[in-house]
């Protein structure tokens, strides 16, 4: 007999199969027991009828505990109400390991309790759906960039220089030297773009930021494309096409998961390129009109400002041309103004905040050297980076998309802590 997975069951209607599974939940009466089975690939109901299986197997099914592992032998039958359109008519049960007093029960639990049990919480239906959507975003990311001629590049995690400012670096010793965990692979990607034209990375990044918000993780994963001979306007086009691609891929390939999360699909269906653009200057004017007196030109936006701007659109919106003073050293100045740079942040709808930060990069050697000095960066650590401006420098642009914020938005979950398997938060390194 074939051992199969739950997601393969629609191809086996009418057959008797065996699956390895865990008990997600159970209901029973004197004559019939309903086992909610999960095997990672999906959830299915197993029906155990006393008259069919006999006393012994029925007693096993009746007394089985949540999260007990087992092999189930059963006939696959059609059932329109279930997610894969099938149900199992159980014939035999073989218990592998009995789980006793599983801590996460179908009742409500507090967030701290669930976070302490993250290693088990991942087994629940909602977390399962979020992880599947995360996986689909990763899959469709590789698909998009490979279709468009990008080469995947893996920048180092242990680094000697910092792209995004020095205040949020994780310090560590590298034998006798100082090293930092990467806060972005960008500088290395710029060098790689000069070798391979269009590149992208996908990897963990670290921010020793004392932020405790629903959008901040200490360790998060970033997708960072970098493109030689591409300037600001064209980079925005790549960004909107990329984001539309991942949203449409999730809609197409994760319908069960989106349904399980109760996501409003009409909001996602609208997400198609092009996305609206608003300059920083106009965003400030808009905020003043809306009564935000706390912000002046030159300030960075906080979450309430971003949310107010995003509420104007049912698409993600680019805020472009931020003041030079609040952005990193490497951004290319506006050709006609030296107070703003050629950059954009992409703000997701529905209050999910900034999901992309990107810009055109400086490629003039003298200007880059001056910026490094103005930002009080250790010049010796950037010597290699300056070589990009020294040997065949070209206009180039890139951006970074934060995976967890994007998963949160597309899944419609409130907090980024549920969008990564094992979140690293301000006060959490466990489990
Ligand atoms: O805006 P950021 O800091 O940009 C960079 O690091 C650039 N070097 C990227 C590039 O141009 N190659 O970060 C990019 C994105 C943000 O828009 C946000 O989505 C996410 O990374 N992000 C975080 N996500 C979760 N927790 C945090 N602490 C984050 N910080 C940034
Ligand atoms: Mg940013």
282 plus 405 within the same structural domain? yes
pLDDT for residue 162? 75
Q: Domain tally for the chain?
A: 2
CATH assignment of the domain containing 177: 3.30.930.10
The answer to whether residue 428 sits within a structural domain is: no
C-alpha span between 362 and 332 (Å, rounded): 4
343 plus 309 within the same structural domain? yes
Of all residues in the chain, what percent carry a pLDDT higher than 90? Answer: 95
Residue 1 confidence (pLDDT) above 90: no
Q: Which residue's CA is minimally distant from atom 31 of ligand 1?
A: 402
Confidence of residue 165 (pLDDT cuts 50, 70, 90): confident
Over the stretch 174-230, which tens digit does the pLDDT of each residue have?
Answer: 999 999 999 999 999 999 999 999 999 999 999 998 989 999 999 999 999 999 999
Q: To test ligand 1's pocket by mutation, which of 225, 357, 407 has the most ligand atoms within 8 angstroms of CB?
A: 357
207 plus 171 within the same structural domain? yes
321 plus 380 within the same structural domain? yes
297 plus 350 within the same structural domain? yes
User: Residue 374 CA to chain centroid, in angstroms?
Assistant: 34
241 plus 389 within the same structural domain? yes
The answer to whether residue 107 sits within a structural domain is: no
pLDDT for residue 163? 74
C-alpha span between 416 and 426 (Å, rounded): 13
Angle at 121 between CA 119 and CA 123, to 5 degrees: 90
By the CB criterion, residues less than 5 angstroms from ion ligand 2 are 357
Over the stretch 334-368, which tens digit does the pLDDT of each residue have?
Answer: 999 999 999 999 999 999 999 999 999 999 999 99
264 plus 363 within the same structural domain? yes
The answer to whether residue 276 sits within a structural domain is: yes
N-terminal to C-terminal alpha carbon distance within the chain: 39
215 plus 333 within the same structural domain? yes
Give the residue numbers spanning the domain of 10.
6-97
Q: Which residue's CA is minimally distant from atom 21 of ligand 1?
A: 402
pLDDT for residue 167? 78
The answer to whether residue 102 sits within a structural domain is: no
Q: Which ligand is nearest to the CA of 408?
A: 1
Over the stretch 385-401, which tens digit does the pLDDT of each residue have?
Answer: 999 999 999 999 999 99
Q: To test ligand 1's pocket by mutation, which of 184, 246, 317, 348 has the most ligand atoms within 8 angstroms of CB?
A: 184
Rounded to whole angstroms, what are the CA distances from 107 to 103, 111, 302, 304?
11, 13, 36, 33
The per-residue DSSP string of 3-32 comes to B--GGGGGGGTTSEEEEEEEEEEEEE-SSE
pTM of the model: 0.97
Q: Which residue's CA is minimally distant from atom 27 of ligand 1?
A: 216
Tell how many helices (H) and how many strands (E) occur in the chain: 14, 16
257 plus 209 within the same structural domain? yes
207 plus 271 within the same structural domain? yes
Q: Which of 34, 66, 97 delimits the end of a domain?
A: 97
Handedness of CA 140, 146, 150, 152 (dihedral sign): positive
Q: Please give the average per-residue pLDDT across 401-423, as a whole number.
A: 98
303 plus 175 within the same structural domain? yes
Q: Which residue's CA is minimally distant from atom 29 of ligand 1?
A: 216
210 alpha carbon to ligand 1 midpoint, in Å? Answer: 15
């Amino acid at each position: 007999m074939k051992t199969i997975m739950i997601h393969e069951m629609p191809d086996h209607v009418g057959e008797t199969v065996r699956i390895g599974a865990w008990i997600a939940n159970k209901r029973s009466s004197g004559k019939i027991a309903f086992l909610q089975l999960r095997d990672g690939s999906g959830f299915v109901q197993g029906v155990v009828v006393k008259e069919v299986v006999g006393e012994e197997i029925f007693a096993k099914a009746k007394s089985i505990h949540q999260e007990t592992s087992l092999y189930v032998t059963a006939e696959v039958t059609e059932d329109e109400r279930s997610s894969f359109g099938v149900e199992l008519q159980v014939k035999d049960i073989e218990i592998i390991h009995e789980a006793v007093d599983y801590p996460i029960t179908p009742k409500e639990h507090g967030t701290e309790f669930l976070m302490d049990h993250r290693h088990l919480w991942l087994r629940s239906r909602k977390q399962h759906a979020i992880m599947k959507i995360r996986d689909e975003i990763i899959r469709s990311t590789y698909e998009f960039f490979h279709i468009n001629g990008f080469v995947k590049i893996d920048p180092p995690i242990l680094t000697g220089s910092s792209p995004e400012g020095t205040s949020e670096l994780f310090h560590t010793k590298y034998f006798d030297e100082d090293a930092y965990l990467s806060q972005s692979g960008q500088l290395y990607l710029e060098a790689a773009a000069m070798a391979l034209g269009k590149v992208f990375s996908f990897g963990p990044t670290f921010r020793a930021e004392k932020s405790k918000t629903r959008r901040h993780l200490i360790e998060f994963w970033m997708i960072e494309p970098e493109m030689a001979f591409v300037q600001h306007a064209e980079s925005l086009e790549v960004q909107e096409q990329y984001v539309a691609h991942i949203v449409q891929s999730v809609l197409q390939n994760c319908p069960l998961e989106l349904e399980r999360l109760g996501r409003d699909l009409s909001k996602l269906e609208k997400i198609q390129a092009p996305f609206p653009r608003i300059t920083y200057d106009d965003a400030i004017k808009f905020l003043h009109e809306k009564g935000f007196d706390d912000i002046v030109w030159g300030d960075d936006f906080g979450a309430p400002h971003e949310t107010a701007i995003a509420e104007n659109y049912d698409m993600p919106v680019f805020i472009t041309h931020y003041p030079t003073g609040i952005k990193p050293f490497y951004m290319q100045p506006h050709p006609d103004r030296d107070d703003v740079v050629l950059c954009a942040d992409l703000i997701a709808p529905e209050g999910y905040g900034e999901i992309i930060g990107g810009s055109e990069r400086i490629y003039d050697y003298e200007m880059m050297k001056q910026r490094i000095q103005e930002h009080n960066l250790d010049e010796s650590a950037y010597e290699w980076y300056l070589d990009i401006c020294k040997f065949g420098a070209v206009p180039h642009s890139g951006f970074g998309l934060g995976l967890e914020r994007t998963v949160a938005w597309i899944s419609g979950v409130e907090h980024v802590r549920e969008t990564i398997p094992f979140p690293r938060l301000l006060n959490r390194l466990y489990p």
